């Protein structure tokens, strides 16, 4: 991990945005006086969480914002960003780069961001404390503070060392725990004072309400009896209703199914009833048969007459040279034609009409030569041929008559089948209607029972209304009800007991609800305060344990590192002074160790606090000079001691970066060279 760059915008003398790159290794910032070198240091310190404007060489937060020049107007906000390379995972976050951003407006309100996420100042300080960075240690040494470690108090030295060692995180937690402990003690005293104030009032109220204890007891007994009694009654009704509903649903389902079956049968029956058109067909066939029989009889009669005429005509003719008796033939044909035309007028049978019409046409053809005087000799053969044709047509009519007889037979068979099917369907329909009526009667009986239960329920509601309650007061699942198992046997006794209890409660009168309410409120408040007091006592114990553990942690880490620090401090001191001895020690440390075996836990805790609040002293012996105190050192010597301590600390616990602002200003040429060699 290393510091990559610093971005400034509107901070102090940096009116415009500027980015300073810091490659790995040593970076020197040089420039004339007033160029803003120290402002860069102030910006870094500000980003690390510095809150005091005076430590940033200003009187107030507004002094950090560019205040303008004759050529440039002042700005309304100052902003700075620190960019860290976190490829090594030094910072405990899952980012390869960590950006710390802080900005402030002229209203002196600051905003803090870690990788664009807005955070609190406390979060920034905690973030850097876990990384051995901060404003209290030696990470940043401002101009003129090269002797800071020597000038600092013993307690300030300890804080500097703790920050470099990464113990500042625990110190912050400890300070926060101590602050909470102080507040908890305050809240506990406050709660105890309130308890002392409430307790007498609660005792007085309880004495006033104790006379109602019997009433409460009787009321509880009555409520329990009512609960058992009415729960038993309600559950009985609900149980019966629960049995009825499935039965009703079952009957509804059966009725619905039977109704559907009945609808199907009735539909089928209507369909069958609409089918007896066969009767009409039979009537039509009978009528046609009668017409055919009549016409056949007439045709047979006419054929007989025609045959007789032809025989007479053939016998009477003489030879082929005799004259044909045109008058007789003409009269016969006319007579036959009249008979056939009369038959056509009386018949409705289509095929018979066609046959007779053909016969009439042929007779017309025969009549046409007879109407002339030139009768040809082949007229007799043509009449014979017409006779044969008429016989053929007669056979056709005979066949049609037989076909009609067959159709009549088939329709008669179908009609018999129809009668059977109709009778069967009718009987099934009547059976379904009877079944449906039976189901309706059963359902009505159950509905009657349901109505009886509803009346019982209404009666129970009236009883409850008389005692100021409703069914909802007993509205719980059957599995939750706990009625007495022998209630049916002792029901009269329970009713008598409830009546007696109500009479006694009525005679006692009502409780002063305001008094009872006040007692309950005061008791609730008292119980709350008591509970809070216990919680606060526990919190105090927990906080004390936490502080003790933090003290032990800091003590262990600090003392574990102190020996190594002293070795490095003495080494760098001898390099800077060409000899001598130097050592850091905790003030009165050996005297406190003698009390470690004290069995009093409170004293142990007090000793731990006193030890950790004590500071760090510097013991020196210069090679050519005897001193009795640090105040006897010159300015350059104080800077050399501070530099030796600084290099000792960073050798044991290297910080992510180190900022030194003209730290060698108080050194002479030789000591400046020694310092430069240490830097290299």
What are the pLDDT digits (tens) for 143-172?
Answer: 888 888 999 888 889 888 888 888 888 888
pLDDT band at 357 (very low <50, low <70, confident <90, very high): low
Q: Look at residue 108 in the predicted model and tell me its pLDDT.
A: 86
Residue scoring higher pLDDT (321 or 369): 369
Model confidence over 78-119: pLDDT tens digits? 999 999 998 888 888 888 999 999 999 998 899 999 999 999
Residue scoring higher pLDDT (349 or 641): 641
What does the pLDDT average to over 389-413?
70
What does the pLDDT average to over 349-359?
55
Report in angstroms the alpha-carbon separations of 95 from 7, 86, 99, 117: 19, 7, 10, 13
Predicted model pTM: 0.51
Q: Look at residue 278 in the predicted model and tell me its pLDDT.
A: 54
Output phi, psi for 197, to 5 deg.
Answer: -80, -35
Give the integer Cα–Cα distance in Å for 395 and 296.
10
**What CATH fold (topology level) applies to the domain 1-131?**
Rossmann fold (3.40.50)
Model confidence over 291-330: pLDDT tens digits? 766 666 666 666 666 666 656 555 555 444 344 444 444 5
Whether residue 482 is predicted with pLDDT greater than 60 in this model: the reply is no
Place of tokens 């050399």: 640
Residue scoring higher pLDDT (452 or 607): 452
In a 3-state reduction of DSSP, which class is residue 1? coil
Q: Look at residue 677 in the predicted model and tell me its pLDDT.
A: 83
Q: Residues 650-665, buried b or exposed e (16+ Cβ, 10 A)?
A: bebbebbbbbbbebbe
Q: Quote the mean pLDDT of the chain.
A: 77
Spatial contact of 291 and 349, defined as CB atoms under 8 Å apart: yes
Give the integer Cα–Cα distance in Å for 151 and 296.
157
CB atoms within 10 A of CB 471: 14
Spatial contact of 665 and 144, defined as CB atoms under 8 Å apart: yes
Whether residue 465 is predicted with pLDDT greater than 70 in this model: the reply is yes
CATH assignment, 277-433 = 1.20.120
Q: Look at residue 587 in the predicted model and tell me its pLDDT.
A: 79
Q: Look at residue 139 in the predicted model and tell me its pLDDT.
A: 83
| Cα of 55 vs its chain's centroid, Å | 53
Identical fold, 1-131 and 277-433: no
Give the integer Cα–Cα distance in Å for 334 and 586.
167
Q: Look at residue 382 in the predicted model and tell me its pLDDT.
A: 67
Whether residue 338 is predicted with pLDDT greater than 70 in this model: the reply is no
In a 3-state reduction of DSSP, which class is residue 474? helix
Can you give the residue ranges of every domain in the chain? 1-131, 277-433
Give the integer Cα–Cα distance in Å for 337 and 345.
12
Give the integer Cα–Cα distance in Å for 533 and 184.
10
Q: Look at residue 10 in the predicted model and tell me its pLDDT.
A: 93
pLDDT band at 250 (very low <50, low <70, confident <90, very high): confident
Q: Look at residue 590 in the predicted model and tell me its pLDDT.
A: 43
Whether residue 333 is predicted with pLDDT greater than 90 in this model: the reply is no
What does the pLDDT average to over 61-70?
90
**Dihedral, CA atoms, 613, 614, 616, 621, nearest 10 degrees?**
180
Whether residue 61 is predicted with pLDDT greater than 60 in this model: the reply is yes
Report in angstroms the alpha-carbon separations of 323 from 316, 326, 347, 373: 11, 8, 39, 9
Residue scoring higher pLDDT (507 or 642): 642
Whether residue 438 is predicted with pLDDT greater than 90 in this model: the reply is no
Residues 6+ apart with CB under 8 A from 405: 289
Spatial contact of 428 and 267, defined as CB atoms under 8 Å apart: no
pLDDT band at 11 (very low <50, low <70, confident <90, very high): very high
Q: Look at residue 177 in the predicted model and tell me its pLDDT.
A: 92
DSSP notation for 596-651: TT---HHHHHHHHHHHHHS-EEEEEEBTTB--SSGGGS-HHHHHHHHHHHHHHHHH
Give the integer Cα–Cα distance in Å for 264 and 285.
34
Residue scoring higher pLDDT (395 or 304): 395
Q: Look at residue 415 in the predicted model and tell me its pLDDT.
A: 63
Percent helix, strand and coil across the chain, each to the nearest 5: 70, 10, 25
What does the pLDDT average to over 468-473?
73
Range from 189-193, 247-251, 276-280 that averages highest in pLDDT = 189-193
Q: Look at residue 662 in the predicted model and tell me its pLDDT.
A: 84
Range from 271-280, 511-520, 548-557 that averages highest in pLDDT = 548-557
Whether residue 640 is predicted with pLDDT greater than 50 in this model: the reply is yes
Pairing of strands 659-660, 140-141: parallel
Q: Look at residue 424 in the predicted model and tell me its pLDDT.
A: 78
Q: Look at residue 610 in the predicted model and tell me its pLDDT.
A: 46
Q: Look at residue 565 in the predicted model and tell me its pLDDT.
A: 92
Whether residue 480 is predicted with pLDDT greater than 50 in this model: the reply is no
Whether residue 426 is predicted with pLDDT greater than 90 in this model: the reply is no
Whether residue 408 is predicted with pLDDT greater than 70 in this model: the reply is no
Spatial contact of 674 and 177, defined as CB atoms under 8 Å apart: no
Length of the chain: 680
Whether residue 370 is predicted with pLDDT greater than 70 in this model: the reply is no
In a 3-state reduction of DSSP, which class is residue 499? helix
Residues 6+ apart with CB under 8 A from 211: none
Q: Look at residue 323 in the predicted model and tell me its pLDDT.
A: 43
Q: Look at residue 505 in the predicted model and tell me its pLDDT.
A: 77
Q: What is the DSSP letter of 210?
A: G
């Amino acid at each position: 991990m290393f510091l990559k760059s610093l971005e400034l915008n509107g901070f102090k003398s940096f009116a415009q945005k500027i980015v300073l790159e810091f490659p790995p290794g040593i970076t020197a910032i040089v420039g004339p006086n007033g160029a803003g070198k120290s402002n860069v240091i102030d910006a870094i310190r500000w980003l690390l969480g510095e809150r005091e404007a005076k430590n940033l060489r200003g009187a107030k937060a507004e002094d950090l914002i560019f205040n303008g020049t004759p050529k440039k107007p002042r700005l309304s906000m100052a902003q700075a960003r620190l960019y860290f390379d976190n490829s090594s995972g030094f910072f405990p976050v899952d980012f390869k780069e960590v950006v710390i951003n802080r900005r402030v407006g002229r209203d002196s309100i600051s905003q803090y961001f870690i990788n664009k996420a807005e955070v609190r100042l406390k979060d920034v300080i905690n973030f850097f404390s876990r990384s051995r960075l901060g404003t209290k240690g030696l990470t940043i040494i401002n101009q003129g503070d090269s002797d800071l470690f020597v000038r600092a108090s013993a307690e300030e030295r300890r804080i500097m060392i703790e920050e470099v060692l990464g113990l500042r995180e625990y110190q912050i937690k400890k300070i926060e725990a101590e602050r909470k402990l102080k507040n908890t003690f305050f809240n506990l005293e406050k709660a105890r004072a309130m308890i002392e104030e409430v307790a007498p009032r609660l005792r007085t109220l309880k004495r006033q309400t104790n006379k109602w204890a019997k009433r409460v007891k009787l009321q509880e007994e009555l409520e329990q009896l009512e609960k058992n009694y009415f729960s038993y009654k309600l559950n009985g009704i609900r149980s019966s209703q629960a049995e009825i509903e499935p039965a009703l649903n079952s009957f509804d389902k059966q009725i619905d199914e039977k109704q559907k079956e009945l609808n199907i049968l009735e539909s089928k029956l209507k369909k069958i009833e609409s089918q007896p058109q066969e009767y009409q067909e039979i009537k039509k066939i009978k009528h046609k048969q009668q017409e055919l029989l009549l016409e056949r009889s007439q045709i047979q009669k006419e054929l007989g007459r025609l045959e007789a005429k032809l025989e007479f005509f053939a016998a009477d003719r003489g030879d082929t040279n005799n004259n044909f008796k045109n008058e007789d033939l003409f009269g016969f044909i006319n007579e036959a034609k009249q008979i056939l035309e009369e038959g056509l007028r009386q018949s409705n049978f289509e095929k018979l009409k066609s046959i007779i019409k053909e016969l009439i046409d042929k007779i017309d053809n025969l009549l046409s030569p007879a109407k002339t005087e030139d009768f040809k000799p082949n007229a007799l053969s043509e009449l014979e041929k017409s006779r044969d044709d008429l016989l053929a047509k007669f056979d056709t009519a005979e066949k049609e008559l037989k076909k009609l007889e067959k159709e009549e037979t088939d329709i008669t068979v179908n009609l018999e089948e129809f009668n059977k099917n109709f009778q069967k369907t009718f009987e099934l329909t009547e059976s379904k209607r009877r079944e449906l009526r039976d189901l309706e009667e059963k359902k009505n009986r159950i509905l009657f029972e349901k109505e009886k239960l509803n009346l019982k329920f209404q009666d129970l509601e009236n009883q409850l209304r008389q005692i100021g309650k409703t069914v909802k007061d007993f509205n719980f699942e059957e599995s939750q009800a706990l009625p007495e198992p022998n209630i049916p046997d002792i029901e009269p006794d329970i009713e008598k007991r409830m009546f007696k209890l109500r009479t006694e409660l009525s005679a006692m009168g009502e409780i002063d609800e305001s008094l009872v309410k006040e007692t309950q409120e005061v008791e609730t408040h008292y119980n709350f305060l008591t509970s809070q007091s216990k919680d606060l006592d526990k919190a105090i114990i927990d906080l004390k344990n936490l502080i003790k553990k933090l003290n032990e942690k800091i003590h262990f880490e600090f003392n574990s590192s102190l020996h190594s620090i002293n070795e490095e401090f003495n080494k760098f001191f001898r390099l800077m002074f060409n000899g001598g001895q130097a050592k850091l020690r905790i003030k009165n440390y050996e005297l406190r160790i003698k009390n470690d075996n004290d069995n009093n836990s409170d004293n142990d805790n007090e000793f731990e606090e006193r030890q950790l609040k004590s500071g760090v002293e510097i013991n020196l012996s210069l090679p050519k000079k005897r001193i009795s105190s640090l105040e006897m050192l010159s300015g350059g010597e104080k800077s050399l001691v501070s530099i030796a301590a600084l290099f000792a600390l960073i050798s044991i616990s290297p910080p992510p970066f180190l900022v030194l602002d003209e730290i060698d200003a108080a050194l002479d040429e030789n000591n400046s060279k020694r310092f430069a060699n240490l830097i290299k």
